[in-house]
Structure 1
């Protein structure tokens, strides 16, 4: 009984378990089908969204292309209208101006001051005060430079007249005024004024220097020797030589070479300079110049670098004649300098006095040079490479003024102070030393010297 019941019970449990498994499988199949439906629905929804997005982008692109085409079309129309209006305005301006074109791109500046100075009735004294020379001398310079300085008018603008070009240069040299002030005074641009100064200075040096600053011919040398001998008693003197320094802004290259080593009671500041060596006749006219060597060089070194030294050494230019120099130069066969040792004799003192009279001629000439052209007294804005041209022009203009007897106002003339470094080897030849002793003896013997000591 018990055994049969157990068997029946197991059979019922087996059938029950089989039914449960079949039910579970059926549920899983149903779920799979549901999931597949959901995935298919999602795929369909994604495809629909992609199609919608693509359509929207195409529509946006089409709208943008239409807008761009519309803008291009409008721009073409506006550009055409603008060109037409501009051409119409040009035709109207040409018709109303009768062929004259307005200088619309040139800044309007006032040149009233120069217009006033250039009037024929402008006072001569005021003109000379402004330009350091009379109107006739100024016009002579303009006439000499006309062929080189003059420019032609263009379709864009009228050329600056020759007189105004020369006036800009001379005013700048005479006053040392900054370019921005020169620009306002003459109604020109700053860069234009700077260019004019360099162009006119170059023209003066190239055109006028061969005519107004040159070594004298034989007749000229005879006259110079006679004048110097009349005033000093020293024969065969053909020039008075001096070297001055022109202050500059410290250069960026080789700055030590331009350092002025001459620190004295009058010169205690650190300064940089270039040198100007000049030989002058009895009237203070330069007959030779050497410009541009660095300020650290001594007078002797500058002399040895000069063309005058090379001509005297190789060409015999100065055979049998003297150029008088100061204590900074050595005694040479053609350079006559004062006695430099202490405890001088009566004869040597007397000789030095007469040498000093000749040397003062060149000192005063340099004083007038710097007084006329005030740009030489201050550190200039001119570039170092352009300075020799500017300084050469100043020397030429000085000569023209001296030759034309253009006096200088006393308050403008200055006294130059260029302290001389005495060379270690002050005597270059025994023959020159003997010649100097002979000149000193003859001066005292013929009572040309020594009278101030009696």
Structure 2
């Protein structure tokens, strides 16, 4: 029965089914492994993408943090400068009050001493005279004052003193000097007291002008004018304050419309460039290392050139074709580049308000090209048109640079590290600019021996081209200069 066909068939079917089960088992296991591998790869890709997004997010957050820190540092620096100015103002006011109290106390003591009969007895003279005849006159009551010689000033102040010599000493003719004394008389004149005679106005002005003109130390000024050192220092500050208060509104102001029209015509006759209202330049004034914020006033370029640590403050000025200042910005630290000084100036703020619309102020390569600031081309290779433009704009730049050279030549205190305190220096520099204008307007010729050479480096701004419209306007001016025969003569 076991050998029956049906039995054999069942055995064969059993083996076939077993074989099929054996074949199907490995096939199903391989499918699961493949799916797991694909899933792992997808997970790895997803993890990589997440990691990349995290890195990008971290980088973006880092950049934002750096920008925020930079803005905070910039704001902190500006706030610091503002606090420094406020601090100096408070110190100045406190010193003024203390000096006033000291003077009042000294006057009270002197008056009390005089009223109580305190006397200075000249023992040696009394001994020599001897007897009743020598002492019958009694003792003389007086206050002791050091006797100083005023012979040099008396000679200069004499009507017979040659006008040329007077000009060498004070950088101006006697007529100009007299005019300044008359203008300042009401601001600086003092009255006599019972204790001493007031210093005359002419001598006060002379002390200030001679100190600014020579830059000599106060001890030298003291010997020249027969006054105390502290008195000379006080006179210089008082007269400079009066010049800035009384004379600056009259002799250093932005021109009116009619004057601007004349300035445009004169600059166009010089260069062929239309609508130019000023030539701008920035110079550095050496100072003694300040007690605070030393790094801000450190002048790296002057230090490298002179091999000597240098500190400075800046003076930015705009001049008309005669070299007369029409705008000044004084007192920013020497580490600031010219473009930053420009952005801090009142002129820049007025320009943003629309004052400079349709006109140009010409500057050097250290300034950016703006809608109202015209500068030369600075790329490495020039076209003939660009060469021609730079040639003509250089004539306008020369006006501003030569004006600053005359300013520093006349008032040699600007070439030396002065004894004036940092908070008082802008007032002194402003007075020098006003006196420069008075001399220029009065046609006061400067001696050749006083001429000086400026040593101010022009550092290119970080972003030199800030206006597309001004780029097109400059190109149009350059094209007009060359193709209308107004420039390019140096290449022929």
Give the TM-score band, short-chain normalised.
0.7 to 0.9
How far off its partner does 1:106 sit? 1.5
The answer on 1:212 being equivalent to 2:251 is yes
Check 1:87–1:294 CA distance in 2 against 1; reply closer, same or farther (3 A cut).
closer
Q: What whole-Å deviation, never above 9, does each CA across 1:408-452 have from its counterpart, x for those lacking one?
A: 001101121211110121011100100000000000011111011
Aligned length: 363
Partner of 2:417: 379
Partner of 2:189: 150
**How many angstroms apart in 1 are the aligned matches of 2:273 and 2:119?**
81
Partner of 1:12: none
Partner of 1:105: 144
Among 221, 229, 254, which residue is 1:190 paired with? 229
Map 1:87-106 to 2 at 5 A.
104-106=143-145
How far off its partner does 1:108 sit? 0.8
Whether the 8 Å contact between 2:313 and 2:334 is mirrored in structure 1 is yes
Among 421, 434, 454, which residue is 2:472 paired with? 434
Q: What whole-Å deviation, never above 9, does each CA across 1:103-158 have from its counterpart, x for those lacking one?
A: 63221110000000000010011000000000000000000000000000001000
Partner of 1:361: 399
Partner of 2:316: 277
Partner of 2:377: 339
Q: Aligned with 1:426: secondary structure? A: coil
Stretches of structure 1 that go unaligned for 5 or more consecutive residues are 1-82, 90-94
The answer on 1:405 being equivalent to 2:433 is no
Q: What whole-Å deviation, never above 9, does each CA across 1:83-109 have from its counterpart, x for those lacking one?
A: 8996999xxxxx989xxx976322111
The answer on 1:330 being equivalent to 2:389 is no
Whether the 8 Å contact between 2:255 and 2:326 is mirrored in structure 1 is yes
**How many angstroms apart in 2 are the aligned matches of 1:407 and 1:138?**
15
Which has the larger Rg? 1
Whether the 8 Å contact between 1:103 and 1:156 is mirrored in structure 2 is no
Q: Aligned with 1:396: secondary structure? A: helix
Check 1:148–1:264 CA distance in 2 against 1; reply closer, same or farther (3 A cut).
closer
Partner of 2:456: 418
Check 1:154–1:238 CA distance in 2 against 1; reply closer, same or farther (3 A cut).
same
Check 1:266–1:103 CA distance in 2 against 1; reply closer, same or farther (3 A cut).
farther
Q: Aligned with 1:341: secondary structure? A: coil
Q: Aligned with 1:262: secondary structure? A: helix
Partner of 2:77: none
**How many angstroms apart in 1 are the aligned matches of 2:366 and 2:218?**
36
Partner of 2:339: 300
How far off its partner does 1:261 sit? 2.2
Partner of 1:240: 279
How far off its partner does 1:322 sit? 0.2
Partner of 2:298: 259
**How many angstroms apart in 1 are the aligned matches of 2:401 and 2:118?**
70
Q: What whole-Å deviation, never above 9, does each CA across 1:303-322 have from its counterpart, x for those lacking one?
A: 000000000002x1110000
